[in-house]
Structures are given as C-alpha cells and as structure tokens.
C-alpha cells in the first residue's frame, strides 16, 4: 500500500519522503539514547547536540545511498524507473555530504569557546578523528569531481567505488570515537543494521558482483551502423531469454578482450523473434571503443531488465530528442492498431535520425499512431506549441536534459499536470 503510493509520487517527493523518514529514523533512537531530555540551553551544548545528530543522520543517509547504488531489483521496483532510483540516489548522496559537513562544523563550536587552537586541534590535528577526517575529505573530493567535472565514464565509476569504500572510514570513526554509538549499545546495534545493509550492498554490487549478481548469456547476432555516430547491436539468447517490456533497460557486459569490459546500461529495443537490440550512440570513451570493436559472435552478459520509462501506449504523446528514441521504437512495434499515440522525434540534422522508415511504415499501418520528425537545424527546437496537446493525457519525454526541462515547463504552462509528464532527467551512465 505504502510502496504503491511511493511509486506513484514524483522524483522530488520520493527524495523528500525518504529524507524525512530517515530523519525520524535517526531522531527517535537519538532521543531515546539521551533519555528524551536534551539540554540545549547553552550554545556549546546546543551546537554539540546538532553536531552529534548530524553525524548520525549523515551516517544513516550514507548507508541508504549505498543501498540504492546496490541496484537491488526489489528496491528498483519501488521506483517508476531505474533512472529515477539513481536520481534519488544522487540527491541522497549530495544530502549525505551536506549533513556530514555540518557534523564537524557544529562540534567545533564547543572547542572554539575554549580557544582557536583547541578548535584547530579538533578539526585537523587530532589523530583520534583521522578516519573521519580522511573519509570526509575523500567524500568531498569524490562528490565534487562527480558533480562539477564532466568525468569520463570509467573515472566516474572509479570515483563512485572509492566513495563507497570510504564508508568504512566513517564506520570506524563512528564506532571508535566518543560518540553516542560508542556509549550506547542499543544505538550501536541499531546503526550497525544500516551500516551492514549499506556496505553489504557495495560489496554485493562492486566487489562480488561478478559472482553474485544474476546475469543472462547473450551473443551478438549482428551489428548495423545506423549513421556515423549510432549503431544497433542485435543480441540473441544463448540460453534462457530475459523477460523484458518495451521501455526497459538492462546492463551489458561484453565478454571479449577487444571490447571494453565494464558494465554499461542501454535501453532495450524490442524485435520480432528471440532476443532484442540496443542502440548505441558514440558519446564517450566507452561507446567509442564499443563502436570500433563490437562484432558478431561476441558473448554478452546481460543484467536486468529494469524499468527505464513507463510506456502505457494508448493516449500518450511521446517526445524523443536525439538518442532518446530507442524505447519508443520498441514500444511502437507493439502498439495495437487503435492505440492513440503521437511520436515526435527531434534531431539536429536529418542524418542523425534513425529508424525513420520503420516509423513511417508503422504510421501507415496503425490507425491511431502518428509520427512527426522535426529537424531542429531547419525548423527550430521542438516546443509545446508543436505538440498536439488536445485530448492526450500523458506525455513521455526522453532526450537531452535541457530539452526535457524546457518542454516540461512549457507543458505545465499549457495546464498539463506534473504527474502526467514523465521525463527522464538525467543520463543513466
């Protein structure tokens, strides 16, 4: 009941509810440990309480951020898409750092009241806090690099692993310094549960994933160049086929020494017969290398599927920008003749558009399906005015973030309700 309601709310609300729940899940045991009586009269006592609480709350947020990164299927199902889960993961990660920065700041006040030397000693020179100091420093550098620098995919993955690993430093810090956890066995065990869930998720996904995460075996059937930047890789099952729906994504790991070995997510494109295809656009190191080296016969480990976007079909307006087209291609092949769907496909140049002939054929074949190709270099960017808003109730937008943000805003101005606009706002890396 609660999980169903959670799944229906938008991404910001999900972040808010999770943050609030974790706040109270920290506050309740904290107050219990303090005997529900907190002296906050003096400045030093007040700031110390805030410092203690922010440490515990940051620890809790950190644990749950790692749990989300574990990509557990039963948790991913509580979100409308995998992208949404990762979006909440990113928000919680940023909140974790915010709250953990407040932890030493508030605790420093009591030492500042003694002297600046005492505060400096506490902040950087005290060896007792070395695990906390190193952990926080690595977290600051890792998150700053992730957010403010456009890292290559491989470096981005590496920084994420390091940030997850430094959770251990936070754990050692929390369990060895004169914290509430140190003094209270109940609090000690309570936070241990979250720590084990968080760090366990990291081990499951990043360290032991090769052995523990279930994957299906596929083989590259053929590779087709769609244009100078995009190719379509057709896969057929080697054993049992994965049960997927149009709009799903999966994680792919190509098992060939000439192909980059890391796992990468792609949207699944439905095709007739066994297997499916993925459309890859050259956007970075990994996709460039993949484009150069992937060939027929290469084995592929596939993990998933995960819901990428939620496509109902009937009564929807779909808007694809650039490489956001794959889920719509798959779903359009499954439409019933009377399903009322309009697909708008916006690309910069005509040569960038893929599967246009397929989509035109479907438009002629299916009574309720219409298709519009918009070339932005000639006709300008697609706007809400270009869309037949009319009787359609739901909008699904998939493309570059600036396009999605602008269209969402314009649709809202045209009185479309937020809950009827589905847009994937961040790139699933």
Partner 1 sequence: MVKIQKLMTGTLVVTLVAVVAVLGIATFTKPPEVKNSDEGPTNYTMTEVSNHDSPDDCWLVISKRVYNVTSYIPKHPGGKRTITKRCGTEATSIFTRAHSNAAWDILANYKIGNFQAG
Report the distance separating Cα 263 and Cα 252, nearest Å: 5
Nearer to partner 1 by C-beta: 189 or 426?
A: 426
Nearer to partner 1 by C-beta: 104 or 265?
A: 104
- Could you say which of 162, 165, 177, 389 contacts partner 1 (CB under 8 A)? 177
Interface with partner 1: number of residues (CB under 8 A): 54
Nearer to partner 1 by C-beta: 98 or 377?
A: 98
Give CA separation, 270 vs 226, 238, 245, 427, in Å. 16, 17, 8, 21
Q: Report 231-290 residues binding partner 1 (CB under 8 A).
A: none
- Could you say which of 18, 22, 26, 33 contacts partner 1 (CB under 8 A)? 33
Q: Report 143-172 residues binding partner 1 (CB under 8 A).
A: 143-144, 147
Give CA separation, 220 vs 149, 253, 327, in Å. 34, 12, 20
Give CA separation, 394 vs 8, 310, 384, 390, in Å. 14, 11, 13, 11
**Using rule CB under 8 A, residue 35 touches partner 1:** yes
CB of 129 to partner 1, least distance (A): 6
DSSP type of residue 420: G
- Could you say which of 52, 248, 352, 394 contacts partner 1 (CB under 8 A)? 52
Q: How many CB atoms lie within 10 A of CB 275?
A: 18
395: exposed, middle or buried (Cβ count in 10 Å: 0-12, 13-18, 19+): buried
Q: Report 279-298 residues binding partner 1 (CB under 8 A).
A: none
Sign (positive/negative) of CA torsion 27, 29, 30, 35?
Answer: positive
Which of 424, 423, 428 is CA-nearest to residue 156? 428
Task: Judge whether 266 and 223 are in contact, CB under 8 Å.
Answer: no
Nearer to partner 1 by C-beta: 130 or 162?
A: 130
Which residues in this chain contact partner 1 in the complex, by CB under 8 A? 11-12, 15, 33-35, 39, 41-42, 44-45, 48, 51-52, 91, 94-95, 97-98, 101-102, 104-105, 107-108, 110-112, 114-129, 140, 143-144, 147, 177-180, 182-183
């Amino acid at each position: 009941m609660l999980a169903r309601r959670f799944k229906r709310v938008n991404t910001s609300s999900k972040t808010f509810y999770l943050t609030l729940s974790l706040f109270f899940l920290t506050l309740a045991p904290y107050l219990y440990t303090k005997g529900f009586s907190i002296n906050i009269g003096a400045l030093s006592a007040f700031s110390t309480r805030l410092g203690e609480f922010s440490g515990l709350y940051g620890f809790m947020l950190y644990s749950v951020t790692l749990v989300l990164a574990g990509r557990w299927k039963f948790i991913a199902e509580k979100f409308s898409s995998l992208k949404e889960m990762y979006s909440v993961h990113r928000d919680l990660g940023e909140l974790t750092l915010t709250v953990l920065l407040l932890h030493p700041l508030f605790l420093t006040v009591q030492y500042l009241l003694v002297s600046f030397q005492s505060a400096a000693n506490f902040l950087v020179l005290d060896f007792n806090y070395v695990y906390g100091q190193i952990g926080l420093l690595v977290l600051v550098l890792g998150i700053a690099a992730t957010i403010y620098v456009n890292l290559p995919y491989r470096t981005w993955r590496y920084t994420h692993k390091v940030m997850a690993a430094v959770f251990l430093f936070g754990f050692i810090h929390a369990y060895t310094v004169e914290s509430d956890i140190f003094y209270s066995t109940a609090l000690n065990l309570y936070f241990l549960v979250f720590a084990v869930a968080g760090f366990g998720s990291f081990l499951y996904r990043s360290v032991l994933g090769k052995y523990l995460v279930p994957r299906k075996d596929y083989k590259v059937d053929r590779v087709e160049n769609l244009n100078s930047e995009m190719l379509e890789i057709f896969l057929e099952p080697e054993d049992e086929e994965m049960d997927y729906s149009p709009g799903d994504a999966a994680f792919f790991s190509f098992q060939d020494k000439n192909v980059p070995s890391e796992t990468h997510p792609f949207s699944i494109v439905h095709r007739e017969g066994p297997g499916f295809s993925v459309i890859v656009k050259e956007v970075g190191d990994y996709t460039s290398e993949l484009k150069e080296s992937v060939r027929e016969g290469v084995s592929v480990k596939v993990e998933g599927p995960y819901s990428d976007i939620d496509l109902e079909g009937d009564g929807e307006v779909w808007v694809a920008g650039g490489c956001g087209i794959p889920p719509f291609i798959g779903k359009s092949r499954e439409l019933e003749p009377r399903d009322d769907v309009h697909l708008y496909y916006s690309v910069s140049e005509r040569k960038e558009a893929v599967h246009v002939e397929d989509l035109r054929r479907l438009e002629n074949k299916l009574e309720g399906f219409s298709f519009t190709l918009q070339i932005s270099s000639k006709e300008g960017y697609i706007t809400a005015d270009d869309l037949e808003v009319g009787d359609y109730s739901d909008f699904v937008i998939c493309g570059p973030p600036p396009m999605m943000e602008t269209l969402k805003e314009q649709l809202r101005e045209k009185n479309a309700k937020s809950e009827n606009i589905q847009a994937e706002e961040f790139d699933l890396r």
